[in-house]
Amino acid sequence: QSALTQPASVSGSPGQSITISCTGTSSDIGGYNYVSWYQQHPGKAPKLLIFDVSNRPSGVSNRFSGSKSGNTASLTISGLQAEDEADYYCNSYTSSTTRIFGGGTKLTVL
Amino acid sequence: QVQLQESGPGLVKPSQTLSLTCTVSGGSISSGNNYWTWIRQHPGKGLEWIGYIYHSGSTYYNPSLKSRVTISGDTSKNQFSLKLSSVTAADTAVYYCARENDSMCFDYWGQGTLVSVSA
């Protein structure tokens, strides 16, 4: 079971928007709307940002948004801030009833 | 507010069994539509889903680890545990316990505990 495919790194300047992609297959992302995204700062536990493809938990900034098209999910961060610099992971439910993470994307705020 | 806390040895010898416990407060492992989950992260690497125990007691594991993993629950202590047998250096990682809710997302996490496998 290979990890979902994410770009290793993305970068952007403060105030800009960036998008992180997460590509899977019809057996995971393409087959279910159980896609979630997590933010992880160094030395910290991951934090839930997005669930069910595009829903934000209470307390998460509306600068974070999620979407899905076919087998690819995306996380968009608008109005980049220095505090957004972190690692980001996608996750999906699979047809095998397992869960699978993406390899992670390091976001650098220039 | 649900809180999770991992505990267990930080050093395990090769070929032995890694044992960790997650203590849950603010919620019951025996009720609700939740999956009490273990996830690990190798140093400098991504997240790997290990498996879960459901409130009913049923379990499900990552096929790549299935032969070595056991997750169990103790409802009297509101804890669930991970046992990983025949460990090698490749099992050195930060181990997290987490709650997966009925939207199949991990909404609460422990702070993680580093387990090193070394003689």
Exposed, middle or buried by CB within 10 Å (0-12, 13-18, 19+), for A72? middle
* B41-90 confidence digits (pLDDT tens): 999 999 999 999 998 899 999 999 999 999 999 999 999 999 999 999 99
For chain B, report the end-to-end CA distance as a whole number of angstroms. Answer: 39
Nearest residue to B97 via CA among B63, B30, B44, B49? B49
Residue among A46, A100, A103 whose CB faces B109 most closely = A46
* A45-85 confidence digits (pLDDT tens): 999 999 999 999 999 999 999 999 999 999 999 999 999 99
β-pairing, B18-25 vs B79-84, is antiparallel
Write out the E strands in A25-85: 35-40, 47-50, 64-69, 72-77
Using the Cβ of A46 and the Cβ atoms of chain B, whether some distance falls under 8 Å is answered with: yes
* A2-49 confidence digits (pLDDT tens): 899 999 999 999 999 999 999 999 999 999 999 999 999 999 999 999
Let me know: does A22 contact A74? Beta carbons within 8 Å.
Answer: yes
Show residues of chain B in contact with A32, CB under 8 Å.
Answer: 104
Closest-CA residue of chain A to B110: A45
Using the Cβ of B50 and the Cβ atoms of chain A, whether some distance falls under 8 Å is answered with: no
Count Cβ–Cβ pairs < 8 Å, chain A vs chain B: 63
